[in-house]
Structure 1
């Protein structure tokens, strides 16, 4: 799935192999486009520096004064 390719790129992979997914798709041209866009987005997210994943939520806004 394109979302899986995106996730691989977010983790810093150099690339992904997607031949079978494209070859057996109902619309290979559109599937190839979807993978291309997903890989570009995933790489951009990796280069931008994704924040760390947390088990519990942590507020990033102050508890008072922001709803004026």
Structure 2
């Protein structure tokens, strides 16, 4: 399921999961896991994930946040 979510985050239109579900010990539960993962990945894609940077950048203010 995690790779399905990752594929959807990258903008894939769909993922093929039949074998993973069919061969799982609990196919119904695995099917639900994939459904949730694909939905989460699609939402992440639609939310436009933040870009990557090759250098570190502080995301918190340097003063006042610990007071």
Regarding TM over 0.5, the answer is: yes
CA root-mean-square deviation: 1.1
Describe the SS at the equivalent of 2:66.
coil
The equivalent residue for 1:12 is: 11
How many residues get paired?
A: 67
Which stretch of structure 1 is more off in the superposition, 58-67 or 27-36?
58-67
- TM-score by length of structure 1 reads 0.90
**How much has 1:35 moved relative to structure 2?**
0.2
Alpha-carbon distance, 1:56 to partner? 3.8
Distance of 2:25 and 2:66 partners within structure 1: 49
Q: Deviation digits for residues 4-48 of structure 1, max 9, x if unmatched?
A: 000000001000000000011000000000000000000001101
Q: Residue 28 of structure 1 aligns with which residue?
A: 27
**Structure 2: where are the runs of 5+ without partners?**
none
Instruction: Measure, in 2, the Cα distance between the counterparts of 1:31 and 1:55.
Output: 36
